[in-house]
Structure formats: structure tokens, C-alpha cells
A and B are shown apart, each in its own frame.
Chain A
Amino acid sequence: MIETLISGITYSSLLSLMALGITLLYRTTKVPNFAHASFVVFGIYTSYTLALLGYNPYLGTLLGFIVSGIIALILFYALLEPLRRRKSSIFILMMATLTYDILMFGIINIYADYLQTTFKIPARNVYLAPQDFTLIGLKGVTIVSTSLLIVLLMLLYILLNRTIIGAALRAVMENPSLAQANGINVSLMLALSWFLAGGLAGVAGALLPMYMMTDPSTGMLLIAPMFCASILGGLEQIYGAPLGGFILGLATTVLVSWLSGVIGYWIMTYSLMVPYITLIVTLIFIPRGVVSIILKR
């Protein structure tokens, strides 16, 4: 049971990092980023590549932040910014992120093919847990993912609330045209938010192969949980994302494992359905997220 709980916390931390970026982007660019899963997958392959080259895969969190951050920046500058200049609708922007997801899926698969031929390994089954370390009985990935989540949340808080750039970012979230009217380079701030969000997804992705078996289509599996966590926390509340991440993460792991004891083991097969059900229930009952309920009090 304890083991399930720890595994649940690890998963929740990773989910929170992903959801955090989705919410951040929704607040700045007002668009649900359907390419977010790709950013995660680039993180996966960054730490995997490092591991193949003989480095410690945990270096992948740092490098993954940069790689996925740049992947996100390319999306912003190549597609979203030209579209925003043309005053394209939210729908077109959503379509653009979906398109980019398709593009990146192609690229990551080509990269996997390349790794496969170069290193003669099955690059479509990325699992690094056997190489993980343990400390006081805890798996490395648990320690690293939870502490990284806490550190990154604190850094994000400091950036947003204690620095001038953060103030500019908040201004852009609140009222972009007024921000621009007061000397803030909105486009630059949006680019920053894409870099940060991509980076956070990259960190989560870099840690993911320590937690579970991954491959290029892991992204498809992640879309529902990521968006569910983000909406559950409240798309309007940045710090709601980790809350949503933990509620959903623990529900998918701890709750389902408990239910399998009560109802029967077959229910485990359907644990994949939890995010979908949660998403639907959330949309029907609390479309503005858990934080909206807390704030109302």
C-alpha cells in the first residue's frame, strides 16, 4: 500500500509539472496547447539519449528543460506568433498546436528510428528505472521528481511575484493590450511563457522513463491526464495545476489499487479510463476547477 502511495506521489509530481505548463500557456496565450505531450516526449528522449551516451540520465532534467523549451519556442515563433499577428481565432491557434503535435510526432519517431539503427537497440521501449539509484529506501525518481516540483514551483513563484519580468508576465495574463500599451513587449513575454512551459514539460518527460515504460506514443496516453489535471485545478489558476495533478495522480494510482482490492483485479485494466471520467465529471460539476471552489469560501 505504502509502495502504491509513493508511486502515486511520483506520478502526481510528474503530472503536476506537465499540467503547470498547460495552465501557464492557457493564461498567457489563451490557447489549450495540444502539442504539450510532444514537449514531454522530447524530454523522454533527451534523458534516454544521455543514458545511451553513458551519462547520468538525471542530467536530462536540465538538458530536457532546454530542449523542450526550444521546441516550444519554435512552435511559438513559427506558427502561433504569425497567426496571432493575423488576429487568427482561438480555433485556428488550437489547430496550429495540434498540427505541431503531429509534426513533432513524426520527428521523434524518425529520431527513434535513427537511435535504433545507430545503437542497435529497441529505441521504442524506453525504460530507465533499472538504472535508478535508491536512497533511504526511496527510489531516486521519487526523490528527484517531488523535490524538483517543489523547487520549480518556488522558482516560478519568485519569478512571477518578485521580479519585474514576472510582473510583466502577470500583466500580460491579465490584460495583454493594456500591458502592451504600457511598454511591455507582449510577444517576448508570450515567448518566455512558452519556453518555461515547454521546459517544465521537458523536465517531467526526462524523469518519466525512470517511472514507467515509455515510447514515442506515450504522448497520446498523457494528453487526457495532463489536461484533466490542469482543468481539475482550474485553467485560470496557475497554482491549481499541482493540486489537480495530485488529485488525479493519486486517484489513478492509489484509489484504483484500493478499488482493485475491493471490487476485483479486473478494474486495474481500466485505470487508464480514470482521467477521462474525471475530466468529464469535472467539466459537468466544476468546470472552473477545484481552486474556484476553495476561493469562493
Chain B
Amino acid sequence: MLVIEKLNSGYGKLHVLYDVSLTAKRKEITAVLGPNGAGKTTLLNSIFGLADIYSGSIELDDERLNKMPPHMISRRGVSYVFQLMNIFPNLTVEENLRLVARFSGMNHKDIENSLKEIYDLFPILKERRRQVAGTLSGGERQMLAISIGLIKRPRLLLLDEPTAGLAVRYVDMLIEKILEMKKTMDMIILLVEQNVHKALKIADKVYVLVSGRIIFEGTPSELVNKEDIAKMYLGVG
């Protein structure tokens, strides 16, 4: 379980998040929604040790993550799929995956198994495994980015707008895949999404972040009933 309590964070003097508290459970998708610049990415950055934390705590299965450098957090089983620049563009698809797997300290057998799992989830990546990652299409690239996050079988997967800028068919497919991941893999998924409709369809729990503050917490259906919030900040309802 990921538990964040009264988190205040930002970048240097720029205070972005104010008293953010959030809980995300295993085998659930927790979605964080909000307008541009609300601080969604900053929330993920804070969890991953990439922002400055002024106060509050972040705990993963009762272990404090604050103050740890990113590479240590990564070794604690946290994967962060960035919004942009989330692949190694000059390596092939398989090199991307193997490289990351090797750093997670998995043994040879685990790597092969994990690789097979990923190719089962995204068959297209298996077809493209010898292709240089920089030449993949936008959707394929995003699948590779998520696979890079999955290959080490994380406890916590942070996804930052995985469907942003993709063609509709890819959006639907990726959303399906995320749902499938939740069912087959034992992990906490924290999903930041602009695509509110799609996110609400698969999320178990939703947080709405506006100007660095949580203004709503509940299930997707509760959010849809709160018409004011849904309309004002998310443009739905």
C-alpha cells in the first residue's frame, strides 16, 4: 500500500503541492485527475524523489521513501513511466527491456520470464523487438515505455499520462492493457490521466488535484455525481 500524508513539495522555492494525502492499494488502479499545471506530475516526482519535499511523508508498504534518491527508490520496486522521453531511443526494443531488467538485479531466468510476460501483453513489441526504439510509432513507443516500467515486476507503477497525444485506437487499447495489468499483475497502479472518461472507466479510486490541493477523493461513480467538480475542473458530466 502507498500512503501519502500531508505532503508539501515543489521545486526549490516554487511550492507546488499543499497538504496532499493519498492512499493507493494493491491490485487497484488509483487515478489522479486535474487540469494542466495542477501538480499531477509533481506528485509522481515527489514519490520518486525528483521533487523537493518540504514536509509530510510518503510510505510504501510501511517503508519511508522521502529523502531517498531516485535510484534507491527504483530499487525498492517503484517504476515511473515518464510522460516524455521515456525510452532509450538508440537501442533496440529488446535492448531497452533487457538493459533495464539487468539493473533491477533479476537473474537470467526471471528476465526471460518477465520478457515473455511482456511480449504476451504487447505482442506488437515482440514483432518489433529488433527495431531501434526511436523509430517506433507513438503508440508503440508508449507501450515500450510501459513495458520498461513493468519488466522488473514493480510493486508500485507510476504512469504519467500514458495516452496523451495518441490516436484513438491506441488510447482504447492502452486503457484495456492497463486494466489487464491490474488483473494479472500484483501491483499498485497510480495513474495520472487527462483522458477523464477513460480513466474513470478503469479506476477503482479517484483523486482530483487542483492548484496543488486535493479537492475530491472517492470512487468514479461518486465523482460523476459531484457535478460541480466534474464540470468545472474536468469538463465532464
Where the two chains meet, the residues of A that have a C-beta atom closer than 8 Å to any C-beta of B are 164, 167-168, 170-171, 174-175, 177-178, 180-186
- What are the 3 tightest A-B residue pairs by CB atom distance, in nearest-first order? A183-B74, A174-B88, A183-B103
Docked-complex contact B88 and A178, CB < 8 angstroms = yes
CB distance from B158 to the nearest CB of A (A): 9
Contact with A along B99-111 (1 / 0, CB 8 A): 1101110000000
11 contacts between A and B (CB under 8 A): A164-B102, A167-B102, A171-B103, A174-B88, A174-B90, A175-B85, A178-B148, A182-B74, A182-B79, A183-B104, A184-B103
Docked-complex contact A184 and B88, CB < 8 angstroms = no
Docked-complex contact A181 and B85, CB < 8 angstroms = no
Hey, which chain B residues are within 8 Å of A182, CB to CB?
A: 74, 79, 100, 103-104, 148, 152
Which of B48, B89, B99 contacts A167, CB < 8 Å?
B99
Hey, which chain A residues are within 8 Å of B148, CB to CB?
A: 178, 182
Where the two chains meet, the residues of B that have a C-beta atom closer than 8 Å to any C-beta of A are 48, 69-71, 74-75, 79-80, 82, 85-91, 99-100, 102-104, 148, 152
Give the docked Cα–Cα distance between A185 and B75 (Å): 11
Give the docked Cα–Cα distance between A177 and B91 (Å): 16
Give the docked Cα–Cα distance between A184 and B48 (Å): 14
Docked-complex contact A178 and B86, CB < 8 angstroms = yes
Hey, which chain B residues are within 8 Å of A177, CB to CB?
A: 82, 85
Hey, which chain A residues are within 8 Å of B89, CB to CB?
A: 174-175
Given contacts A168-B103, A183-B103, A184-B103, contact A178 B87 (CB under 8 A): yes
Hey, which chain B residues are within 8 Å of A185, CB to CB?
A: 69, 71
A-B contact count (CB 8 A): 53
Give the docked Cα–Cα distance between A180 and B78 (Å): 12
Hey, which chain A residues are within 8 Å of B90, CB to CB?
A: 174
CB distance from A239 to the nearest CB of B (A): 14
Hey, which chain B residues are within 8 Å of A183, CB to CB?
A: 71, 74-75, 103-104
Give the docked Cα–Cα distance between A182 and B82 (Å): 11
CB distance from A75 to the nearest CB of B (A): 22
Give the docked Cα–Cα distance between A185 and B102 (Å): 14
Which of B71, B88, B102 contacts A186, CB < 8 Å?
B71
CB distance from B127 to the nearest CB of A (A): 23
Give the docked Cα–Cα distance between A218 and B121 (Å): 59
Interface centre among A171, A175, A182, A186, by most chain B C-beta atoms within 10 angstroms, is A182
Give the docked Cα–Cα distance between A178 and B69 (Å): 14
Give the docked Cα–Cα distance between A96 and B14 (Å): 27
Known: A181-B82, A182-B74. 14 other contacts (CB 8 A): A164-B102, A174-B91, A175-B87, A175-B88, A178-B88, A178-B148, A180-B70, A180-B74, A181-B48, A182-B79, A182-B100, A183-B74, A185-B69, A185-B71
Closest residue on chain A to residue B151 by CB atoms:
A182
Closest residue on chain A to residue B11 by CB atoms:
A87
Which of B75, B86, B88 contacts A171, CB < 8 Å?
B88
Hey, which chain B residues are within 8 Å of A175, CB to CB?
A: 85, 87-89
Give the docked Cα–Cα distance between A174 and B95 (Å): 12
Docked-complex contact B91 and A178, CB < 8 angstroms = no
Hey, which chain A residues are within 8 Å of B82, CB to CB?
A: 177-178, 181
Interface centre among A174, A177, A183, by most chain B C-beta atoms within 10 angstroms, is A183
Hey, which chain B residues are within 8 Å of A181, CB to CB?
A: 48, 70, 74, 79-80, 82
Given contacts A164-B102, A167-B102, A171-B99, contact A178 B71 (CB under 8 A): no
Hey, which chain B residues are within 8 Å of A164, CB to CB?
A: 102-103
Closest residue on chain A to residue B80 by CB atoms:
A181
Hey, which chain A residues are within 8 Å of B104, CB to CB?
A: 182-183
CB distance from A245 to the nearest CB of B (A): 23
Hey, which chain A residues are within 8 Å of B88, CB to CB?
A: 171, 174-175, 178
CB distance from A252 to the nearest CB of B (A): 32
Closest residue on chain B to residue A181 by CB atoms:
B80
Give the docked Cα–Cα distance between A183 and B71 (Å): 4
Interface centre among B48, B91, B152, by most chain A C-beta atoms within 10 angstroms, is B91
Give the docked Cα–Cα distance between A167 and B85 (Å): 18
CB distance from B41 to the nearest CB of A (A): 13
Hey, which chain A residues are within 8 Å of B87, CB to CB?
A: 175, 178
Hey, which chain A residues are within 8 Å of B71, CB to CB?
A: 180, 183-186
Give the docked Cα–Cα distance between A171 and B104 (Å): 14
Give the docked Cα–Cα distance between A168 and B74 (Å): 15
Give the docked Cα–Cα distance between A168 and B69 (Å): 17
Give the docked Cα–Cα distance between A174 and B91 (Å): 9
Closest residue on chain B to residue A180 by CB atoms:
B70
Give the docked Cα–Cα distance between A177 and B84 (Å): 11
Hey, which chain B residues are within 8 Å of A174, CB to CB?
A: 88-91
CB distance from B46 to the nearest CB of A (A): 14
